[in-house]
Every structure is written in structure tokens, then in C-alpha cells.
Amino acid sequence: MPRCAAGTNYELDSTLRDREKNSTAPHLRNIGWRLAAHVSAALAIILLMGCTAAQHRRAADRETYGIVAQAEREIFGTTNAFSIDTPYSGREPKEILPQELINNRQRTGVRTLRLEDALDIAATQSRRYQAAKEVLYLTALTLTGARHEFSPQFFAGARGEYLHTYRTENGEVRSENLASLRSAVGVSQFLKTGGRLSAALANDVLRYYTGKPRQEIISLVTVNFTQPLLRGFGRNNPDVEALTQAERNVIYAIRTYSQFQNQFAVEITRDYFDLLAQQTVIRNRYTNYLSRVTATERLEARAKDREQIASVDQARQAQLTSRNNYVDALARYQTSLDQFKIKLSVPLGERFALDPTPLERLVAVGLIDVPLDPDRAFKSAVERQMLLLNAIDEFEDIKRKVSMFKDQLRADLRLFGDASLQSEGAEDYTQFDPKKVRAGVGLELDLPIDRLRQRNTYRASLVAFELEIRELGLTLDNLKDDIQGGLRTLNLRRQNFEIQRNALELANRRVASSTMLLEAGRAEVRDLIEAQDAQINAQNAVTAAIVSYQDVRLQLMLDIGALQTSEPDFWLKDHVAAFFGEPLPTAEARPAQTTVLPPENYLIN
């Protein structure tokens, strides 16, 4: 227990001392004084052990973080630094005013934001990330309470009281005063067998003021023990089951948090690449706009008759359209960037210059192959996917609860025992006579005659178990569908990439030839406009295809439990080879599908 300091009040003790000075029974006064001194000392120690709020907080953090670290070692074999503290955690809530938060959101500045920086900011500032950490913390904190129920529970207290009453005795009205000090200290513990053991020491000092003052001192030591032998024994006890569930909930929370970390890293990476892709679209549209301005100027310079002026107007219309597309692309990018800042919990006033290197490297690496068949991928997911492991273990939780509720239908047979030792009168509580110990043991039987409530609970648990069977089956089906869909989508994205790359090559040739033919007077402006439209669409589609392939691949790796976002440049890693620990064929070893197969090849699946 942490060292703490607290004050104490001796007013009640001094009052008793003054009254004892006037007592006509010195020997009783000495005994009372000794007892009062012991009680006062015990109370002073207890009060001095009282902790401040800050110390309670540190104690809670120390125990909770220890639980998280231990669970991480059990699951992953290693542990990472974990804390829910924020820049506001060390301050008193009353010191944090709304204006401070308003000023914080009005910060401005310009900086280059790399993808690694975005991931770091997400882990330290994101509201969603902080909320996920707090869910894990609170789950572990709940376990500290459940474990506390099975640890020794110490208690101590005292109560001082003074009463003044009147009574009639032989026609005379007499006043009677009573001063009392009652104190108790003890310990109790709930056992994992379902039993409970407790021990207590109680002291009463009673002082009566009447015609003949008298004083009584009573000290009592008691020990009690109960243990169910049938219903509620061991793991079938509801309190023991609550502890078991709290411990398992921490494991689930660790897995969920780990899955969230990877999922959130994938989201941040996807958003970053989407922003870079939008930048590419903006640059392409701006280049397209400039090329159309040049084409319009050339036509204006050569326009001599009505037909050529009509071509100029057509070029001007295309120029305005390209300019509008450019402005729209800028607006969409700025909106997307603001949403990205909100996800990172960065003030919208801060301006970012994104680093284009990740997209350049992704284009250079190309499409990373995923040579997996659906069955192998699903088998791996069943063994390693965090959320699926939780679903499987939660299925076991329901089975365990069914067994517990079934146990509640049994007869209730309890073993009990108690012992007490009491000292009265002029004896000190330190001078108990062992011969005066009173002890007993027995059995208590409660036959299962009325178990309607327990019957209904048990039947409801069977219904819940049937529901859990369906839910687990649905979870497995959804995961397998995600994996199969991811593999199909990857194949589709690969084909789209090849198609768009070929389309871009063709569009580039069309623009070049249309430009030369237009200058030679052998083509119309419409031909060049169509070629330029096809070119910019193909340019944007190529970038979109490779970014989309990347998104699907990372999500698929996450679904099968192969993604490790803690690795540097995880978005460029071949996670399949590392996951299965064996060499797999590369994308270059697999020929691209160039033949368009008829629908019948796909309709049977």
C-alpha cells in the first residue's frame, strides 16, 4: 500500500478522558484507558494509511498496466509500453477551461507530413485511438476489482456516542448519561472454492452515569467460515465465474486492441495514399487544362473563316470544362485533407505538404502478388485472426455459463463453522481465557423444491447457446466471404491495372497523332478533345488501380491475420511469405490473364 498521510481527531478521546477523571472506579478507569488507547492508536494508524486521490490513481494505473503487460506477454510473447495518459492527464479537471480547447483548435502552421509521421500522430493524438486504449484500460481495471473480491478484505472502524435520558424511579426524576465507544477490526476473504472466511475483533466501552456510575468493557473475537458443497462449488459459483470472465475479458480486449491498431494503421495508410492519388489527379487535370489552353491559342491564331471559328469555340468550351474539372478536383482534395486532419485529431488550421515518396515507391514496386487459395487463407485466419479467436473463445464462455446455470438447479448443501471468544467485565481483551472459546460446525441443506427462477435462467442460457452457435457460424462465413472476396477483388484490380495501363499507352498515341493531324488540317478539334479526355481518364485510372490494389491487399492481410503494421514500410512488405515462412511464387512468375473468358467460366462458384 502506498504511503499516505492524513489527519485525525482526538476530541472524542479527550471527552472520555475527562469523564474518566470523575469516575469512582479507578480500576475500571485503567482498563478503559488501556482499551481506549489501543483503539485510538489503531484509528490513528488507519487514518494515516489513508491515501490521497493522486496516490489512488497511481496505484490503479500500476496494477492495471501490470495486468495489460502480463496479458500481452501471454498472447504475443512480448509487451509494449501502454499508457492512456494525455497532455491533460496530469492536471486537475477544474483547471482545464473550454477556452483552452478553443485556442488549441485554432493553431496554425505549415509542415511536411510523411506517412510515418501520420501514423505516429494517429497513435498519439487520434480520438479513436485514445478511446480504444481507454476501453482496454477499463477492462483491465474491472479485473482489479474482481480480483480484489478474492483477496483479504480488511476493515476497521469506530463509533463514539453520547446519550442523555430521563427516567422516573420511586417518584423521582433521574437523569442518565451513557458514553460509548465501539470499535471493530477484521478481515474476510472469498475463496475460489466458493466459500468465505472472516475474522473480526470488536471492542465496546460503555460508561453509565447514574446515581452509581458503572462501566462495562466487552471484547469479542469471532471467526466464521462457510463453504458450499453442492450448488455453487468451485467454478460453478457465480462470483468465481465473474472472476474467470473478467480475466478472459482482458484477453479479448488485448486482441481487439491489437486488431484495432492494425486496422487503424491500414486506414491511415489508405487515406494517405488516396490523398496522394488525388494530388496526381489534380496535377493531371492541371496539365490537361494547360494543354487545352495551348490548343485553343493555336486555333485562334489560325482561325480565318467561320468554320475555323466554330472549332475555336469548341476548343474554348473544352478548355472551360477542363478548368472546371481542375477546380472540382482541388475542392475534393481539400475536403478529403480536412477529413484526414479530423481523423488524426489535428487542428484544421494546420497546413500539410504531403510527401509523395510512398506513392512513387509503390508505383516502382508494382503490384505485390498474393499467391493464396481461399481455403489456405481461411485456415490461417482461423488460427491467427484476433477477432475470430475472440469469437471462438466467447463461444466457450457461453458453454461454461450453461454449466454454471445448470448447477444452480442442484440442492444447496453448505458447510459452516464459527468460533468466538468474549471477554467481559474487568478483563482486558489481551487476556482472553482460551477455555471460554465457543465453537461450532454444521451442515445446512436447502432442497431444490422451488427452482423456477433457476429453471428459467438455465433454459434461457440454452437458448443463448443456440444463438451463439449461429453467431459463430455467421462470423466464420463472413470472414471466409471477406477472404474470398478479397482474393477475387485483387485479381480484378490486377486486370484493371493492366487494362488501364494499355489504355494509357493508346491514349498517349491518340493525343500525339490527333495533334499532328489537327495541325495538318486533316482532323477536327473534336478528335483531339476526345483523345485528351481519354488520356487524362487513363492517367487517373492507372493511379487509382494501383492504389486500390494496395488497399485490398492490406485489408486481406489483416483479415487472415498476417499483417504486421509495426514493421517499417509495412505497406510495401510481402506479408504472405513472412506469414507462411516459405517461398511463394512471385507476381512475375504468374502470367497475366490476357484472354477474356466467357461468363460460364465464372457462374459456377
Q: What is the pLDDT of residues 25-79, one digit of tens each?
A: 444 344 444 444 455 455 555 555 567 888 999 999 999 999 999 999 999 988 8
Residues 479, 559: Cα–Cα separation, whole Å? 7
514 and 592, same domain (yes or no): yes
272 and 353, same domain (yes or no): yes
Residues 263, 259: Cα–Cα separation, whole Å? 6
Helix (H) or strand (E) holding 404: helix 386-407
Flag whether 4 is in a domain.
Answer: no
Ramachandran region, residue 445 (left: φ > 0; alpha: ψ -120 to 50; beta: rest): beta
Helix (H) or strand (E) holding 390: helix 386-407
250 near 71, Cβ under 8 Å?
yes
Flag whether 124 is in a domain.
Answer: no
Cβ neighbours of residue 12 closer than 8 Å, sequence gap 6 or more: 160, 181
Nearest-10 crossing angle of helices 306-344, 238-302 = 160
Region 384-403 average pLDDT: 94
Flag whether 528 is in a domain.
Answer: yes
285 and 172, same domain (yes or no): no
304 and 339, same domain (yes or no): yes
E strand spans, 425-467: 438-446
Burial of 550 from C-beta contacts in 10 A (0-12 / 13-18 / 19+)? buried
pLDDT of the residue at 16: 32
Residue 582 pLDDT more than 80? no
pLDDT of the residue at 109: 82
> Which grid cell is 64?
492495471
pLDDT of the residue at 588: 43
Supply the DSSP symbol for 355. Answer: -
Residue 21 pLDDT more than 50? no
The tally of CA atoms less than 13 A away on the side-chain side of residue 182 is 5
322 and 366, same domain (yes or no): yes
Between the alpha carbon of residue 353 and those of residues 275, 286, 372, the distances in Å are: 11, 18, 38
CATH number for 498: 1.20.1600.10
Backbone angles phi, psi at 59, to 5 degrees: -65, -40
183 and 314, same domain (yes or no): no
Over the stretch 219-273, which tens digit does the pLDDT of each residue have? Answer: 778 899 999 999 999 999 999 999 999 999 999 999 999 999 999 999 999 999 9
The count of structural domains within the chain is: 2
Residues 582, 576: Cα–Cα separation, whole Å? 9
Beta bridge partners of 476: none
Flag whether 429 is in a domain.
Answer: yes
Residue 509 pLDDT more than 60? yes
Region 396-404 average pLDDT: 95
CB atoms within 10 A of CB 485: 14
273 and 373, same domain (yes or no): yes
Region 390-407 average pLDDT: 95
Residue 17 binned pLDDT confidence (cut-offs 50, 70, 90):
very low
Residues 69, 27: Cα–Cα separation, whole Å? 59
Cβ neighbours of residue 17 closer than 8 Å, sequence gap 6 or more: 33, 36
149 near 391, Cβ under 8 Å?
no
Over the stretch 291-323, which tens digit does the pLDDT of each residue have? Answer: 888 888 877 887 666 556 777 888 888 889 889
Between the alpha carbon of residue 152 and those of residues 183, 186, 189, 220, 414, the distances in Å are: 20, 10, 5, 20, 22
Q: CA 89, 90, 95, 96 torsion: positive or negative?
A: negative
pLDDT of the residue at 425: 53
Beta bridge partners of 421: 221
Over the stretch 168-183, which tens digit does the pLDDT of each residue have? Answer: 666 666 666 777 778 8
Over the stretch 105-146, which tens digit does the pLDDT of each residue have? Answer: 788 888 899 999 999 999 999 999 999 999 999 999 999 999
Helix (H) or strand (E) holding 148: helix 127-148
Supply the DSSP symbol for 94. Answer: G
Nearest to residue 390, comparing CAs of 472, 486, 484?
472
Mean pLDDT of the chain: 82
175 and 33, same domain (yes or no): yes
Report the percent of the chain where pLDDT is more than 70.
80
166 near 175, Cβ under 8 Å?
yes
Flag whether 453 is in a domain.
Answer: no
Flag whether 308 is in a domain.
Answer: yes
Residues 307, 182: Cα–Cα separation, whole Å? 113
Ramachandran region, residue 353 (left: φ > 0; alpha: ψ -120 to 50; beta: rest): beta
Over the stretch 524-546, which tens digit does the pLDDT of each residue have? Answer: 777 778 888 888 888 888 999 99
281 and 316, same domain (yes or no): yes
377 and 319, same domain (yes or no): yes
Flag whether 121 is in a domain.
Answer: no
Q: 0.85 cut: is pTM over it?
A: no
Structural domain of residue 200, as residue ranges?
A: 13-40+155-190+195-231+414-446
Over the stretch 354-368, which tens digit does the pLDDT of each residue have? Answer: 999 999 999 998 898
Residues 318, 325: Cα–Cα separation, whole Å? 10
> Which grid cell is 258?
491489437
Supply the DSSP symbol for 452. Answer: H
Helix (H) or strand (E) holding 466: helix 452-519
Angle at 400 between CA 79 and CA 450, to 5 degrees: 145
Helix (H) or strand (E) holding 53: helix 53-76
Supply the DSSP symbol for 92. Answer: -
290 and 368, same domain (yes or no): yes
60 near 143, Cβ under 8 Å?
no
434 and 333, same domain (yes or no): no
pLDDT of the residue at 219: 75
Flag whether 252 is in a domain.
Answer: yes
477 near 418, Cβ under 8 Å?
no
Helix (H) or strand (E) holding 330: helix 306-344
